[in-house]
Structure 1
Amino acid sequence: MAETSGVSEKVTLFRQEGGLTYRIPALLYLSSESTFLAFAEERISPQDEHAKFLVMRRGQKEGLSVKWGPLQTLETAVLPEYRTMSPCPVYDAKKGTIFLFFICVEANVSEWSQINMGRNAARLGYIFSKDGGRTWSPMTDLTEQVIGHDVNNWATFAVGPGHGVQLSSGRLVVPAYTYYIHKHLVGHPTFSYTKPHSFAFYSDDGGKTWLKGHLLQQPLRTSECQMAELVDRNNSLVLYCNARSSDGYRIEAFSRDGGHLFEAPFKCLKLQELNDGCQGSVVSFPSPQLGSESSLASSKTPELWLIFSHPTSRKTRADLGIYLNPCPLKENSWKTPWILNTGPSGYSDLAVCTGEDPLFFGCLFECGISMYYEEIAFQLFSGAKLLKTQNTSSAEEN
């Protein structure tokens, strides 16, 4: 139990039944209500093309445990003749508004066919809630307003998946990626040459208007991504991006202007990637001053650390690890991962229980006995547990 080990028992929130499958977890923590919101896609099979709509469960944190409510279908996050995918929530703590971003993709059109043919079938949408996720607005379609004519050069695109972030400036940031059409193949008008690029959507007016940032540049390929806020030695904002890639390692990049433009991306040699890649999650949190658990939550220093969740196996989606980075502005500073879930493990999403002492993290992740998509489970773990595992790993390495 969390009270003694610093890790709660694993609780299944979404379970595969027959052909019905739940995939693509996204997690949000509302500190004002001590509440988790867990999102996922409901599908009629594990295949991407068989996604239907988004679902949610609400969890009330009570001390070191979470009491979860029933599954709810997000009935307004829909577009007729389209399937809803890639939940990506971001919370405006200043106004108390939750924005849930997602994409709607034409029914039965696969991502692979969009990439090969250079024909986008996705649209950008969101719904919002002003009452902690109890009720939701109708869907807003932002495709023309935010992407505009650039969508003609995108074979397809998506947000996240996972969570967005609100920066200390108040800016709302939604991580995203697109398969950009670099050229059409000569003699094959129905085929195109595309490469994936991560980027961000952002808003500086509380979600009234949204803009898109510049794409991360070649030659590295960056797709599904998450972002976190850091602060450098000059107390200046730095936005960190951690992206999936097919280049053998996770790709990292920094932005000094809040996500409009990222510096040159680079491979992180401490974070190896599966051959076909896998989504991962990242969050920042205040660094400990004296190594105590309470200082994790109460530290007033501007320095921030990172944790990252991702399968640790190089061969298959298995053994979900939690990685710690105490020097995130220095390349290759990630520590040896602590294994949170042994066995099949896929996509995951992290959340920090901000404003609490002791500090806890929530992790929502795909897992199973034979396959990683059999269920989506949740666990809490403490900052003290994380530091203890890292201290143990460091001692063993020495």
Structure 2
Amino acid sequence: MTDATVPFRAGREGHASYRIPAVVATRSGRLLAFCEGRVDSARDHGHIRIVLKRSADGGRTWGPLQVVADNGGDLAGNPAPVVLDTGRVLLVHVRSAATASEDALLRGKVKDAAGRRVWVQHSDDEGATWSAPREITRQVKKTGWRWYATTPGHAIQLSSGRVVVPGNHTLPPTGSDNGTEAKYNSGHCLLSDDRGENWYLGYVDENTNGYVNVNETTAAELPDGRVYFNTRNDSPSPGNRADAHSGDGGRTLHTPFRPQAGLDGPVCQGSVLQLRDPDVLLFSGPAFPGGRALMTVRASADAGRTWRPVHTVDGLPAAYSDLVRIDARTIGLLYETGDFGAYERIVFRRVPVPGTT
């Protein structure tokens, strides 16, 4: 059996709903579990804050809820944390007006100042306190992009020192805008070569042919130095996921996004994590093709070409998730779930590393 705790439960601690989990481990082993604390409702817009709970015992217990990013009564969301080689924790996220719904953004009805903007802040004491947020929108968002989101889930720092934050955006429609042509999902990544001081765009994938439309993306550095990107695919290609590889640290894709039918499941976000000992790439996400349920961890021994299930949590509703390494024998899975719906609580589960049981 695996150990499970519930750091976030809808309707508790001042928030109607908790969504969009992300988790990292600090250099000392402390776990930081982030998510969106949606104050008034479960909607994707409105008064939303980034909240955090910390654990000093591998996720068995959690400290009090902390508000890390609060945009007044507006939105601060899509937490993309990463622990740097210096020990600093970076948190990249997006902000927008509370009224900036996805539909309004896609239709071009939101002014730039109220639209999705990109910010970064940091902690040098393992999440206890945080710097003031600093805006980096002009460095990483092109003029004309409408919807914009980071990850969801953790970001990564490569062995070269470069920070890679996957992102997604939408383009204006090419024809008349009646609101139906506007949602062409596209992908990109944010890069920093100086530990978060300056940022620029890496690859930009704007394939709007309807076959693979890159959406919420997660990344891992493979043992050979390539960056593996795995994305939610909202188009009717085989399966609902696609993946790609970069040989230059995310600047370009040397193999473009193509369908990855080996990861069966619904249209939903997922998470990847590369382990070095053993050498295995992990993926978490719901595995029931007919809907968001059946949270499952799968493994690949060939850089994401093929996958096999290694741990199924249960058959309950489940949606977004994130993975973290706890110790030599244990990984952590932070995921949305519930008895009758996928968004009742965010659970943290300790799962054995494949091959160690």
Same fold (TM over 0.5): yes
The whole-number CA distance in structure 2 between the counterparts of 1:368 and 1:128 is 32
Q: Which residue in the other structure is 1:39 paired with?
A: 34
Q: What are the Cα deviations for residues 316-342 of structure 1, in whole angstroms up to 9, with x where unaligned?
A: 11110100111115x3x1013531233
Q: Secondary structure at the match of 1:242?
A: strand
Tell me, yes or no, if the aligned pair for 2:323 and 2:331 is still in contact at 8 Å. yes
Contact 2:116–2:146 (CA<8 Å) still a contact in 1? no
Which residue is 2:99 aligned to?
108
CA distance in 2, matches of 1:175, 1:52: 21
| 1-structure distance, mates of 2:206, 2:310 | 29
Structure 1 residue 170, shift from structure 2 partner? 0.9
Q: CA deviation at 1:195?
A: 1.3
Which of 308, 323, 331 is matched with 1:361 structurally?
A: 331
* SS of alignment partner, residue 45 of structure 2: helix
CA distance in 1, matches of 2:140, 2:222: 26
Report what 2:316 is aligned to: 343
Q: Displacement, 1:105? A: 1.5
With the length of structure 2 as denominator, give the TM-score of the two structures.
0.90
Q: CA deviation at 1:231?
A: 3.1
Residues 159-183 of structure 1: CA deviation (Å, up to 9, x unaligned): 0111000111111111111112352
C-alpha distance 118-199 of structure 1, shift in aligned 2 (>3 A)? farther
Aligned counterpart in structure 2 of residue 266 of structure 1, from 235, 255, 258: 258
Q: Partners of 2:91 and 2:313 in 1: how far apart?
A: 27
Tell me how far 1:381 sits from its aligned partner: 1.3
The answer to whether the 8 A contact 1:252-1:268 is kept is: yes
Q: What do the CA deviations read for 1:143-165 (whole angstroms, capped 9, x no partner)?
A: 12333xx2x22111010111000
Question: Cα distance, 1:194 vs. partner?
Answer: 4.2
Q: Assess if the C-alpha contact under 8 Å between 2:185 and 2:206 holds in 1.
A: no
Alignment partner of 1:57 is 2:25: no
Specify the alignment match of 2:285 in structure 1: 310
| CA contact 2:46–2:73 (8 Å) conserved in 1 | no
**Which has the larger helix fraction?**
1
For 1:359 and 1:209, locate their aligned partners in 2 and report how far apart those are by CA, in whole Å: 36
3-state DSSP of counterpart to 2:197: coil
How far apart, CA to CA, are the structure 2 residues paired with 1:46 and 1:268?
A: 30
Q: RMSD over aligned Cα, in angstroms? A: 2.1
Task: Give SS of 1:137's match.
Answer: coil
Deviation at 1:192, TM superposition (A): 5.8
Establish whether residue 324 from structure 1 lines up as the match of residue 299 from structure 2: yes
Q: Does 1:245 align with 2:215?
A: no
Query: Is the Cα–Cα contact under 8 Å of residues 119 and 136 in structure 2 kept in the other structure?
Result: yes
**How do 1:185-196 and structure 2 match up within 5 A?**
185-186=175-176, 188=177, 193-196=182-185
- Asked if structure 1 preserves the Cα contact closer than 8 Å seen for 2:332 and 2:349, the reply is yes
Structure 1: gaps of 5 or more residues:
288-295, 297-303, 390-398
Give the fraction of aligned pairs with identical amino acids, expressed as a percent.
30
**Offset at 1:249?**
2.2
| 8 A contact 2:108–2:172 mirrored in 1 | no
Summarize the Cα distance change of 1:227–1:337 in structure 2 as closer, same or farther, 3 Å threshold: same
Rounded Cα–Cα distance in structure 2 between residues aligned with 1:216 and 1:104: 23
**1:352 counterpart = 2:347:** no
The answer to whether the 8 A contact 1:15-1:376 is kept is: yes
Asked if 1:282 corresponds to 2:247, the answer is no
Q: 1:163 aligns with which of 154, 167, 179?
A: 154
Q: Give me the whole-angstrom Cα distance separating, in 2, the residues matched to 1:51 and 1:312.
A: 31
Partners of 1:67 and 1:113 lie apart in 2 by 40
Other-structure match for 1:68? 62
Give distance in 1, aligned partners of 2:181 and 2:135: 27
Cα deviations across residues 292-315 of structure 1 (Å, max 9, x unaligned)? xxxx3xxxxxxx421100111111
| CA displacement, residues 329-366 of structure 1 (integer Å, 9 cap, x when unaligned) | 5x3x101353123301111110012xx4x331011111
The Cα offsets for residues 256-288 of structure 1, whole Å up to 9 and x where unpaired, read as 1101111311101111342xx21101100125x
Measure, in 1, the Cα distance between the counterparts of 2:153 and 2:23: 7
Alignment partners' CA distance in 2, 1:254 and 1:102: 24
1:4-153 mapped onto 2 (5 Å cutoff): 5=1, 7-8=2-3, 10-17=4-11, 20-30=16-26, 32-43=27-38, 44-61=40-57, 66-74=60-68, 77-80=69-72, 82-93=74-85, 95-117=86-108, 119=110, 121-147=115-141, 150=142, 152-153=143-144
The question of whether the paired residues in 2 share the 8 Å contact of 1:239 and 1:258 is answered with yes
Unaligned runs of 5+ in 2: none
- Counterpart position of 1:396: none
Alpha carbons of 1:12 and 1:129: their partners in 2 closer, same or farther (altered >3 Å)?
Answer: same
- Quote the Cα distance in structure 2 between the aligned partners of 1:337 and 1:180: 38
- The Cα shift of 1:81 comes to 5.5
